Structure 1
């Protein structure tokens, strides 16, 4: 369980919010979070890197010179990996990097990772009405009042974000918006600060609280 103070648009403490999630046992927590992180980063690889072997490189069918009598080493093809323009030995070929992980384990790892970020979690009142028009400067000033330094890698988790909030946040450096029902473990761990709202916390507990 994580208890956080709720701040308003001016940065004043106006209440308290609690994030209750079932997390992994302390002895297994680091292992399962690491597995989930490796799975996500590995599964994002395209696996399209490819090189040609000596049999796939164009040309090289004719023997460069006769077998004996020249004083040079034997050569059967100009596409040998030892030659310039030749094939590649043990080079990459297209492959599938996907790693499987049970859904329950993935969700447990996500809850554990989120609960571990309690010290970096900032809960604020819904602020969409404070931005009747997209204003990046006003949102940046509000984040400073909440205690989030500008330039710090920040993840803003909202139940849903209106267009004015999206347009206000998109030009802030190192700030990423994410819906509460579409979290992933990489962004949770990569962010230095996490900003959310009470309604987003309720949504997180509803979606991931099993």
Structure 2
């Protein structure tokens, strides 16, 4: 039990002492949510939502499903998945370059990782907005009763919740690593413990690759 507690303290670092504020820039959740709303929801989620509705409207007006099907391509979970994996691999390469003291190469890989993760958060937000738009289309096409029956089902709710949480995590990591954002204490802690960062990235890669494999089997 004591070993488990020690492991938890090592993984959580300052979070185990100060709570969730150690993972927030300046320790303020309100400011972070404001940025999330303006830079993520209003910018990318809304555009994905509107883009899907525009594609649906064009398909109705022109009697051609091409536009709706094209708009659905914004929902690209496998593409989002592989982009995040690539970003994590760049982080791994940056850590290895840091260990062998190749500082310029390490800086390049870590900067590339931050850029790719930021792109992944935008792709995920666009896709989430498209999912919301598709739900509205489903409500129009099948009737509100059937729509709410689906939305209340475990699968429908679980899909939305999982997609939202994953997108939020990727956005949060990308935002906290920006040059113009004060780094949270936990990010500083992880940055100082390269072994922990390496293991976390590796575990995330394995998890995402397993998710992709399961999705491929399901298809």
TM exceeding 0.5: no
* Structure 1 or 2: more strand by fraction: 1
Does 1 or 2 have the higher relative contact order (CA < 8 Å, sep 6+)?
A: 2
TM-score if structure 2 supplies the norm length?
A: 0.22
TM-score if structure 1 supplies the norm length?
A: 0.22
